Amino acid sequence: MGCSCLVGSERTLDDVSLGKKTMALQKILITGISGFLGSHIAKGLIDAGHAVHGFSRRPCSLASVSCVQGDILDAEKVAQACEGMDVVIHLAGVTEHDALVGHPLPSFEVNLIGTHNVLKACQEQGVSHLIYPSSGKVYGRPKSLPIDEQHPLQPNNLLGASKRIIEHIISFTASSSDAAFTILRIFNIYGPGQRRQFLIPTILDQLAMGKKKVVLGDLTVKKDYLFIADLVEAVKVVIAHPGNGLNIFNAGSGVSSAPQDILAILGKLLGRKIEVESTRERLRPEEHYEERADISKLSALGWKPKVSLEQGLKKILQMEKDLPLAGD
């Protein structure tokens, strides 16, 4: 149970500037606030002056954030957390590949029933805007590049399948509601503090441990990587532009890069050649295709990614400080 204190300014009727658009300060609940996405988004919204509240199984690490501690499957706790909120950003759920593959039934239970609980609570508590982070994995193997929001949804892994089902549930709910619903189809996010099983942290961990060779899966398959700070700005933009009914946006960089490109950039930043080995054990044949997002729809609202892959990798190295940059 968290305290009832608010984060940020009491100027909830004032506006803050967001480019040429003003953004009314709001009371915003983030489920899964203790996770990688949640903590970064919370900090960004606090800096923008919003009153940020949290819901998490773990104690909230953000000082002064009002946080309800509980399980997303506990409908009563979820309803308590949603009371009085203007916006709910629903991040709580299972998204890790190994957890979804190793424990699919409990993972789907958390994702589906948890989302049902949030939607029901939002309806009962009069929340005006729900934001849900989906994934570019809902598209599956692309029929054309870049991938726009009208592309058929044909996921070929469990993360994409889970996200697609939840999107359908949200779409069904939105069809009979006066509230606003936003789905962000996020491509491959990265940044400081990300869990270590993702590609970029995996590479950095192996380098920090002094391994002679970095061991990875496919070195050539290209994916669209978006730095976490750019995603935070995307969230701010959709909060400022709730629209009517259901709106769906891609959130990516619009540029695709392969692991070998990431290694080349890291080699440049660290001032050394990085040797790499590809092993069959790390391959994911179901994801052997290029991903590149068409981000024109979200860009029309005034958002665009500002951090290049090289800039993002440099920021991680500077913040995590496990590996010295060349010249340091």
What confidence score (pLDDT) does residue 17 get? 43
Q: Indicate the pLDDT class of residue 202, thresholds 50, 70 and 90.
A: very high
Q: What's the mean pLDDT in 225-233?
A: 98
pLDDT score at 14: 41
Residue whose C-alpha is closest to residue 267's, from 278, 275, 255, 277: 275
Q: What is the DSSP secondary-structure string of 283-323? A: --GGG-S---B--HHHHTTT------HHHHHHHHHHHH-SS
> Is the per-residue pLDDT at 284 higher than 90?
no
Higher pLDDT pick, 279 / 81: 81
pTM summary value: 0.90
* pLDDT at position 3 over 60: no
What is the average pLDDT value for the chain, to the nearest integer? 90
pLDDT tens, residue by residue, 238-265: 999 999 999 999 999 999 999 999 999 9
Cβ neighbours of residue 16 under 8 Å, at least 6 residues apart? 22, 23, 25, 48, 49
* Residue 254 backbone zone (phi > 0: left; psi -120 to 50: alpha; other: beta): left
Residue 47 identity: D
Report the distance separating Cα 34 and Cα 7, nearest Å. 15
Q: What is the mean pLDDT of residues 306-317?
A: 98
Q: Provide the pLDDT for residue 23.
A: 57
What average pLDDT score do residues 307-327 get? 93
Q: Which domains does the chain have, with CATH numbers?
A: 15-191+227-251 (3.40.50.720)
Give the model's pLDDT for residue 328: 67
